[in-house]
Chains A and B, each alone.
Chain A
Amino acid sequence: MTVSLPPDPQTGGRFVSQEAAYARAGFADGARAGRVAQELAAEGFDLDPAAFAQVADPDGALLALARIAARPEAQEHLVAIIRDQRAQARLLAVLGGSIALGDHLVRHPEHLAVFLEPDVLPDAAPAPEDAGAPPVDEWPGEDMQVVPTAAQWAARAALLQAVGADPAAEVPVAATPDLEPLRVEYRRQLLALAAQDLASPTPTELFPQVGAALADMATGVLEAALAIARRQTPGHERARLAVIAMGKCGGRELNYISDVDVIYVAEPAGPDVPEQEALAVATELASALQRACIAPAKEPAIWQVDPNLRPEGKNGPLVRTLASHKAYYEKWAQTWEFQALLKARPAAGDAALGRAYYEMTRPWVWAAVGSENFVEDAQAMRRRVEEHVPPAEAERQIKLGRGGLRDVEFTVQLLQLVHGRSDPSIRAATTLKALATLAAGGYVGRAPAARLAACYRLLRTLEHRVQLHRLKRTHLMPTAPGELRQLARAARVAPPEAEQLEAQWKATRREVRGLHEELFYRPLLPETARLSAGEAQLAPEAARARLTALGYRNPEGALQHIAALTRGSTRQAAIQRQLLPVMLGWFAKGADPDAGLLSFRQLSESLGATPWFLRLLRDSAGAARALSHALSASGLVAQGLARSPESVAWFDADADLVPREAPELNQELSAILDRSAGDTKAGALAVRALRRRELTRVAAAMALHRLDDGAARFAVSEITTVALEGALRVAWEQVLAEGAEPLTSLAVVAMGSFGGHEMAVGSDADVLFVHRGGDGEHEAAAQAQAVAVAAATMQLLSNIGPEPPLEIDADLRPEGRNGPIVRSLAAYQEYYERWALGWERQALLRARPVAGDQALAARFMALAEPVRYRPEGLSAKELVELRRLKTRVERERLPRGVEPFRHVKLGPGGLLDVQWVAQLYQLRHAGQYRSLRVTGTIEALEACVEEGLMAADDAALLIEAWLQGMSIRNGNALWTGKANSPNNNLVPSERRALAGLAALMGYPAGTASQLPEDRHRTARRARAVFDRLFFD
């Protein structure tokens, strides 16, 4: 029979009411449906439109039915099916849910018999309300993973019989090399399963059994394909081959269509078989097995067998012996490979060998958590997978996208690996079972576990429906409204509309993301901090294990902090209970989680009562995250915030983490000083407090990688200038307090790294003081007053006190420490004209006016000009002197007992090497080239390149070493919080300090040991350049 086009719809009014009936049943094209139905009715298959009300795609189902009805062999079956309401519903559900299965029925109408058969799965038990998964005791234990169930045996037997192999044989061999019988039987089983699944009113509840049944069919297919492979491989009996199922097949939670992950293991069949021969045979068998599943034939392929989880992946041999697997896993395997082994299960082939492999690998899975950076590695792997998703798909990916299935599996596996070492009851390979056991064991809260399970069931059901449609391997949500509507109907979303599905899908993804923290961190909170009854509280041992795996070094201490923060019935404690689980994860991402948590506790204790603090953290996820990160990354930030907790507010506004400009700070400072006028002690403290606050801001911005090193060095120098200006003002007030008259004016000139705008957080400030000088008889008194002001300035900034001191260093003045601390302009002039030494000229290269009397400073700079930039450059004698001085500095100042290359300032290729090269060039050439008249090291080197004095490659190596050295120095200060320690110049050898520094410098976690090596290399290269440029 053929379906001919129906007559013109305009011809009869009878169609109109039928059209409406079809539309009501969900048909998109009621008119066409009516015509097709009429045709079918004429053939004797009269269908009530209402029968389609639950069908995903009624139009498609009806058309498919018409095509099947056209096959003469279908007639008898169809008659029986249409008489049987259950069978009819099952048939229509399949035809409306899967085009591919409809096509299959057109090819194999004999399989219509399936619809009259009983259900293949027992009735789905309704999900227990509190766990979302069947109760634990319904699941087989871990050992049972290797013992096939009755359903598994049945699927296997039918598939083996289809290829003419004896299911009872120890080594079944197919009677035929043909691929068709296996594929036809597989499709028949698939059809039976889909019939029950698609007709089920509660597919999310049926899902675990569907996944298990699909995995059972898959292992049966592997067995039957192996039987075919044996048939095709002469000498197959020389090797024992076991096929290990991995991934979803291993976990007995397979999809309708996805790659089936396997690993092969083989051994010689007897002592007389050489290993090489056995491996060759086994490789042949494995290849033939894979071909049997996928090779083109009349019937469509089953699915791809993917052996790429094996040792060495694609590059490794397809088949290995037990010993070879062992050698690999013991020597080379990475964290994720052990994680993957969690799902391993013998699936086909030699059962004893499969079991031996299974048993051999178990201890490795549960020992993996002991490896360094375990959680970090696992998370990095997860991120890589996420980044691999093409951007266009990211928002539609059910499996790999954010909040997708992989996130659920990842959360569950991570928890299993962390706690499975000591608790065998949570080692199940099946995601839902593992989740249920984790909840039963008290490792996660029951309520969030149930919510996660519900998310997982929904996502998996959607994935199944999407794949069933064309039996294609896809994990993408459709975008067309029509397809979304079909999917909503197929997944029994209520109401079955596209918008509803879309909303539910988005909500599910959001929930999955939030539940990770909920499951992983919330159970670390003590009993008293429970938000509701469904929550877990970890036993102390488990809590320690989890914190340790996360990278907390002192889990007991951490637990105490957590308890202290969440204790009590105050509003603060209530908010902390909400906040802390998430923040625990963020601290763990930093280099020192323990310190982060401790600092947070201290902050909370000093700020707890202020209303805005916790509200800010609760309402602004960005602020909480940034604060957690900065606290665990930098001791300096933690200290700074402890002194001014109100600064926590910065973390809520990006603009507050930008260094503030000098004029703005000056304005603020002078307003404060105006108010404190007369109280020099209060004034000095205000200056220092302002400096500390601004340094903390810079440090926080650096710890969060929001400020580059160059900008930070500039900002620190500017803050120093503001502080000096303020201190100078207070010093004048102090000196003139007893009614004295000002006899002179003072200017401050920045020298050294301050002059070069190159200060690290906490560096000393090198300066020169100059005063105008008195007239005639006041000369001596003016000098005395200037000395008093300069000394007071230094003292006010460096006194011991509650605020960190700023050391002012005036040792670069004429005659060094033996000279007067301040000189008049005239005295400087005379001195420099008559006595200036090489090192004094060199020091003046960095001179830059910063504070005090500006006109005076300008006159000083003018007199310094010819001293530092001499047209004749350096004489041969001066050159020798300079070089000798450098070698002396190197010999005398490098501390004993320090490996020279670790010292970034004085060691080979250190900051000094680079600076001295720059200054040597300036002393020689700045008289001639104006562009060299700069105070910064990098600017000077760049100018040398511009003027053609230095090769660009050489300058680049020097600059690289200098930047790296500065960044190590700054990083050490940030990490330790000891801003002015000489140890900041050392590449740390202690491992944790190194990890902290490396994290601040942007090294990915786990790569800190690369840092000393990188430094050594950069410094070695820079040293070679220095040797050449400085001495030749």
Chain B
Amino acid sequence: MDRQQEYVLRAMEERDIHFIRLWFTDVLGILKSVAIAPAELEGAFAEGIGFDGSAIEGFTRVYEADMVAVPDPTTFQLLPWQGERHGTARMFCDIVTPDGAPSPADPRFVLKRALKKASDMGFTFYTHPEIEFYLFKSGTGRSTNPLVPLDSGGYFDHTARGLTNDFRRTAIEMLESMGISVEFSHHEAGPGQNEIDLRYADALSMADNIMTFRTVVKEAALAEGIFASFMPKPMGEHPGSGMHTHFSLFEGDRNAFFDAGAEYELSKTARSFMAGVLHYAREFCLITNQFVNSYKRLWGGAEAPNYVCWGHNNRSALLRVPMYKPGKPQTARVEFRGMDSAANPYLAFAVILAAGLKGIEQDMELPPEAEDDVWALTDAERRAMGIDPLPASLAEASAVMGQSELAAETLGEHVFDFVLRNKRQEWSEYRAQVTAYELERFLPIL
């Protein structure tokens, strides 16, 4: 038993914790939880907790279903909404096979493997997401029971009714109490839409944090009698929920993206990284935008970036270079705006990192900056400028990723195979729908 594990066992006693939740994430990014009693914990550290993986999306197929969850003691945290007395704590788990090898289906392992590659090249990968989501008073979104947003505020509005502010305060307090630093929070453009930015951290911790964040936000909303959703595009007429994320690579304590005096203070490394991300953006789109609904956000207007290009102060660009803050070389970074709030953060960070590293390895050339509003250009103009669109639908994204060696290599063959099969299935189910749109438009006239 190492010291970290001893610390957890001691903390369990000292803080009178009665339950411990072991968390892990399935391939689609849905949080899974197993609760165990404190007495089981020592065994869980030593041997893990066995479970049948066949019921978990993407984990295994029936014939090799046995999986073992091994808690990572460095992720030990009290769950603030479970009360102070007889509290509940959580730890994230690594998933291994019964003989102890990392499970190729574990998204956390996929990210760890990508980070290992970065580390072999001398890099640490930092991320900083801006997570958008909606708060609703009620509704299911069906025509009989429409969604009722919590408020009708807009971008940066201070909503007078205050419930939104209360909610944000509760949520942020919970997050901070779990060691997740919040940098910024504000009302977003849609009614009931909010954004909370997390302070940058290494990619693995951040992916854990995002999983925690989603749970905390949902719990905090329930506590206020409302509900929260990270669905990419819950209402057709209002903006979707994106997860713009800032990325940077560090070599030791030095920001490898920074180069004083270069254009936008961006180093050669940063430019190659960006080139790689742009080069592969279409191929990994299925991971950063993984649901049928994701493509409603990308192609539903309201400033969602859907063309593969980069810019400095260009809101229409997929990859944006934020304004450099003089004297702060550590903050040099690039912002990827394509991802939505429903992505599996482990897999999404892994593919973006892998694409960027390929750019660095192959010394890719960054295409010219897009200075125009790319949405205002005609298709022909965009073609002339070599600006490709992101896939238009889940079907197209699946087809493009199916040809991607980068995605296969980064996700591992198992996850790659599963995601493709799962997404083809999702598309064929979706295609079988008869939508309200069709009924309204065609039933009367046909």
Determine if A317 and B253 form an interchain contact, defined as CB atoms under 8 angstroms apart: yes
Q: How far is the CA of A197 from the CA of B356 in the complex (A)?
A: 58
Chain A positions within 8 Å of B251 at CB level? 315
B61's partner among A317, A899, A1009 (CB-CB below 8 A) is: A899
Say whether A776 faces chain B, with CB atoms less than 8 Å apart. no
Q: Which residues of A contact B (CB under 8 A)?
A: 279, 312, 315-317, 330, 332, 363, 367, 372, 897-899, 901, 989-991, 1009, 1012-1013, 1016-1017, 1020
Chain A positions within 8 Å of B434 at CB level? none
Say whether B104 faces chain A, with CB atoms less than 8 Å apart. yes
Determine if B253 and A1020 form an interchain contact, defined as CB atoms under 8 angstroms apart: no
Determine if B413 and A1020 form an interchain contact, defined as CB atoms under 8 angstroms apart: yes
Determine if B122 and A991 form an interchain contact, defined as CB atoms under 8 angstroms apart: no
Q: Mark interface residues in B402-436 (1 if CB within 8 Å of A CB, else 0).
A: 00000011001110010000000000000000000
Determine if A1020 and B63 form an interchain contact, defined as CB atoms under 8 angstroms apart: no
Determine if B101 and A991 form an interchain contact, defined as CB atoms under 8 angstroms apart: yes
Say whether B152 faces chain A, with CB atoms less than 8 Å apart. no
What's the nearest-Cβ distance from chain B to residue A1020, in Å? 7
Say whether B4 faces chain A, with CB atoms less than 8 Å apart. yes
Chain A positions within 8 Å of B102 at CB level? 1009
Instruction: In the A-B complex, list the 7 residue pairs whose CB atoms are closest, starting with the nearest.
Output: A1016-B413, A315-B122, A991-B99, A897-B63, A317-B252, A317-B253, A316-B252
Say whether B64 faces chain A, with CB atoms less than 8 Å apart. yes
Q: With CB as the reference atom, state the residue of chain B lying closest to A992.
A: B99
Determine if A1017 and B64 form an interchain contact, defined as CB atoms under 8 angstroms apart: no
Chain B positions within 8 Å of A315 at CB level? 122, 251-252
Q: How far is the CA of A899 from the CA of B421 in the complex (A)?
A: 14
Q: Which residues of B contact A (CB under 8 A)?
A: 2-4, 61-64, 74, 97, 99-102, 104, 119, 122, 251-253, 408-409, 412-414, 417
Chain A positions within 8 Å of B61 at CB level? 899
* Contacts A312-B122, A899-B64; A1016 near B414 (Cβ below 8 A): yes
What's the nearest-Cβ distance from chain A to residue B331, in Å? 14
Q: How far is the CA of A332 from the CA of B124 in the complex (A)?
A: 12
Determine if B413 and A901 form an interchain contact, defined as CB atoms under 8 angstroms apart: yes
B101's partner among A363, A898, A1009 (CB-CB below 8 A) is: A1009
Q: How far is the CA of A898 from the CA of B104 in the complex (A)?
A: 17
* Contacts A315-B251, A317-B253; A901 near B417 (Cβ below 8 A): yes
Q: How far is the CA of A367 from the CA of B3 in the complex (A)?
A: 12
What's the nearest-Cβ distance from chain A to residue B17, in Å? 23
Determine if A899 and B253 form an interchain contact, defined as CB atoms under 8 angstroms apart: no
Chain B positions within 8 Å of A989 at CB level? 64
Q: How far is the CA of A1013 from the CA of B61 in the complex (A)?
A: 16
Chain B positions within 8 Å of A901 at CB level? 413, 417
Chain A positions within 8 Å of B62 at CB level? 897
A-B pairs with beta carbons under 8 Å apart, 28 shown = A312-B119, A312-B122, A312-B252, A315-B122, A315-B251, A315-B252, A316-B252, A317-B252, A317-B253, A330-B4, A332-B119, A363-B3, A372-B100, A898-B63, A901-B413, A901-B417, A990-B99, A991-B99, A991-B100, A991-B101, A1009-B101, A1009-B102, A1012-B104, A1013-B104, A1013-B412, A1013-B413, A1017-B408, A1020-B417
Q: How far is the CA of A1013 from the CA of B99 in the complex (A)?
A: 17
Determine if B408 and A1020 form an interchain contact, defined as CB atoms under 8 angstroms apart: yes
Chain A positions within 8 Å of B4 at CB level? 330
What's the nearest-Cβ distance from chain B to residue A437, in Å? 27
Chain B positions within 8 Å of A1017 at CB level? 408-409, 413
Q: How far is the CA of A330 from the CA of B6 in the complex (A)?
A: 14
Chain B positions within 8 Å of A312 at CB level? 119, 122, 252
Q: How far is the CA of A367 from the CA of B122 in the complex (A)?
A: 26
Q: How far is the CA of A708 from the CA of B332 in the complex (A)?
A: 53
Chain A positions within 8 Å of B3 at CB level? 363
Chain A positions within 8 Å of B408 at CB level? 1017, 1020
Chain B positions within 8 Å of A367 at CB level? 2
Chain B positions within 8 Å of A991 at CB level? 97, 99-101
Determine if B122 and A330 form an interchain contact, defined as CB atoms under 8 angstroms apart: no
What's the nearest-Cβ distance from chain A to residue B282, in Å? 18
Q: A312-B122, A316-B252, A1013-B412 are in contact. List 18 more A-B contacts (CB 8 A).
A: A312-B119, A315-B251, A317-B253, A330-B2, A367-B2, A898-B63, A899-B61, A901-B417, A989-B64, A991-B101, A1009-B101, A1009-B102, A1012-B104, A1016-B413, A1016-B417, A1017-B409, A1020-B408, A1020-B417
Q: With CB as the reference atom, state the residue of chain B lying closest to A318.
A: B252
Q: How far is the CA of A899 from the CA of B61 in the complex (A)?
A: 8
Chain B positions within 8 Å of A317 at CB level? 252-253
Q: With CB as the reference atom, state the residue of chain B lying closest to A372.
A: B100
Q: How far is the CA of A943 from the CA of B413 in the complex (A)?
A: 32
What's the nearest-Cβ distance from chain B to residue A751, in Å? 33
Q: How far is the CA of A417 from the CA of B122 in the complex (A)?
A: 29
Chain B positions within 8 Å of A316 at CB level? 252
What's the nearest-Cβ distance from chain A to residue B418, in Å? 11
Chain A positions within 8 Å of B99 at CB level? 990-991
Q: How far is the CA of A1020 from the CA of B101 in the complex (A)?
A: 23
Chain B positions within 8 Å of A990 at CB level? 99
Chain B positions within 8 Å of A279 at CB level? 253
Chain A positions within 8 Å of B122 at CB level? 312, 315
Chain B positions within 8 Å of A363 at CB level? 2-3
Q: How far is the CA of A363 from the CA of B64 in the complex (A)?
A: 36
Chain A positions within 8 Å of B119 at CB level? 312, 332
